[in-house]
Structure 1
Amino acid sequence: MIDAVCFDYFNTCTSAVRRGGGHRRTAEVLGVDPAEWLAVLDRTYDERARGGYGSHLAGLRRLCAELGVEPSTAQLRAALELRLETVLADAPLRPEALSVLRTLRAAGVRIAIVSDCWFELPLLLPRTPLADVIDTAVYSCQVGHTKPHAAMYATACAQLDVDPARCLYVGDGGSRELTGATRFGLTAVQLRAPDLGGHLTFHAEPDWRGRVVTSLEAVLDLVGTPMLVA
């Protein structure tokens, strides 16, 4: 029996993440080369996601320093807002995400978002419709570890007050999250939605041989919960 479901956020609750023009605009505001900006974001992803770069303005300032640029506080504040807008634009919620999570919640299933992220998601998630239908959110930048580290799953299960054996984990497979979830004792399921492929992800696990679904609605079948009719 499943008492709780942990969902990855990016590429799972959201559509496939693809970088848009907001990154170029952010780089221009900071006075850095757009290509170098994307390169430093990629290079520092792991450390940023573990919280190593701090948050907000200090973290943006450190990234700029690595590129030899010292933006003003006004530039940093403008870039911060652009960064948040860009992350939202690059990763819109899947159309079915809210209804699936709402259905699970109505059936008494506890729900967590478990995500590798920098400062953006802790600021953005409370502004999304998902905020009203989840029980908790676990952010790597606050835990100090990224998936597949056991601390991510342990934190989620503790906050949900659920035994790992009674918890489902759903993700696209970035950060080798499915292997990590399985190792910790959760039942892991990979989302292979039609839009995924060539999307932005880090440390994917193409060798996953476990259970697969092609839509979030299929998670309801695994839990045994029929979709609510609007």
Structure 2
Amino acid sequence: MPAYRAVVFDFFGTLTRAVQRGPQHAEIARSLGADPDAVTGVLDRTFRARARGRYGSAEATLRWVIEQAGGRPREAQVRAGVPARVNALRADTRLRADAVTVLTALRRRGLATAVVSDCTHELPAFLPQLPVAPLLDAAIYSVRLGVCKPDPAIYLAACDELDLLPSECLYIGDGGSNELTGAAAVGMTPVRLAAPDLIHHLVYDADTNFAGHTVRSLTEVITLIDHSHLHPTPMPTP
């Protein structure tokens, strides 16, 4: 039997290939009367606050971002901008070629699967339409929970949904948001995905000090499960 009963995945950069903002984001900024570079600057420096839902609904958040960038959008423009942002984020998102195959293989082995993502309002709007959605037993979104990784609450929320202990969960992530050390801190076994394309990934707060297990592809996770001799990653000495 596998040593683990569930595999918990990060989403962006883990179940997906590296993410960069595409041209639709600049078009949205211009349509709302703001300079695209100014909007990009606001988006970058406020990601964690937006991912915690600090600025309210999707419409309220978009309005706030545009106003911070010098725009004064009308209500109708903001309403149109929200689905445009969902479409833009979805266009930026390409599932890894082996994502569906790996999730299917895990479930066939009797393991539960989950996603834990630091994300803004857009991901909950489009993830349910992706091919991976039916293969996930739980999806934890920071924007709905109100906390980001590495806060213990976001990992424990996944455990609660799965009705499992953290020690029964393998955690797979590219290392953004200090997610790997955060997973280890609650008792999960973290594994870094170090796929070659991630050199181009848009990442915040990279987990640069992580020295635990590493795989180069999602498919290697199946090998880890089938030959599981993994042990919890020790936390660094303060």
TM norm. shorter chain > 0.5: yes
Tell me, in whole angstroms, the C-alpha distance in 2 between the residues paired with 1:191 and 1:43: 25
Cα distance, 1:130 vs. partner? Answer: 1.1
Tell me, in whole angstroms, the C-alpha distance in 1 between the residues paired with 2:58 and 2:147: 19
Superposed, 1:43-192 pairs within 5 Å as 43-192=45-194
Tell me, in whole angstroms, the C-alpha distance in 1 between the residues paired with 2:208 and 2:88: 27
Cα distance, 1:131 vs. partner? Answer: 1.1
The number of equivalent residue pairs is 225
Contact 1:30 1:71 in 2 (8 A): yes
Tell me, in whole angstroms, the C-alpha distance in 1 between the residues paired with 2:172 and 2:116: 10
Tell me, in whole angstroms, the C-alpha distance in 1 between the residues paired with 2:96 and 2:28: 25
Deviations 1:72-129 (A, max 9, x none): 2221122212211111121211111011111111221101100001101111111111
Cα distance, 1:67 vs. partner? Answer: 2.5
Cα distance, 1:19 vs. partner? Answer: 1.5
Tell me, in whole angstroms, the C-alpha distance in 2 between the residues paired with 1:223 and 1:73: 50
Per the normalisation by structure 1, the TM-score is: 0.95
Cα distance, 1:29 vs. partner? Answer: 1.1
Cα distance, 1:68 vs. partner? Answer: 3.2
Residue identity in the other structure for 1:28:
R
Q: Which residue of 2 aligns with 1:20?
A: 22
Structure 1 counterpart of 2:208, from 178, 203, 206: 206
Cα distance, 1:140 vs. partner? Answer: 0.6
Q: Which residue of 2 aligns with 1:6?
A: 8
Q: Report the identity percentage.
A: 47
Unpaired segments ≥5 residues, structure 2:
228-238
Tell me, in whole angstroms, the C-alpha distance in 2 between the residues paired with 1:133 and 1:9: 13
Q: Which residue of 1 aligns with 2:41?
A: 39
Contact 1:29 1:78 in 2 (8 A): no
Tell me, what secondary structure is at the counterpart of 2:198?
A: coil
Tell me, in whole angstroms, the C-alpha distance in 2 between the residues paired with 1:67 and 1:193: 34
Per the normalisation by structure 2, the TM-score is: 0.92
Tell me, in whole angstroms, the C-alpha distance in 1 between the residues paired with 2:57 and 2:225: 37
Q: Which one is further off, 83-92 or 24-33?
A: 83-92
Unpaired segments ≥5 residues, structure 1:
226-230
Q: Which one is further off, 62-71 or 14-23?
A: 62-71
Tell me, in whole angstroms, the C-alpha distance in 2 between the residues paired with 1:78 and 1:95: 32
Question: Structure 1 runs of 4+ off > 3 angstroms?
Answer: none
Q: Which one is further off, 75-84 or 207-216?
A: 75-84
Contact 2:175 2:206 in 1 (8 A): yes
Tell me, what secondary structure is at the counterpart of 1:222?
A: helix
Q: Which residue of 1 aligns with 2:234?
A: none
Deviations 1:3-27 (A, max 9, x none): 0010000000000011211111111
Tell me, in whole angstroms, the C-alpha distance in 2 between the residues paired with 1:118 and 1:53: 11
Residue identity in the other structure for 2:223:
D
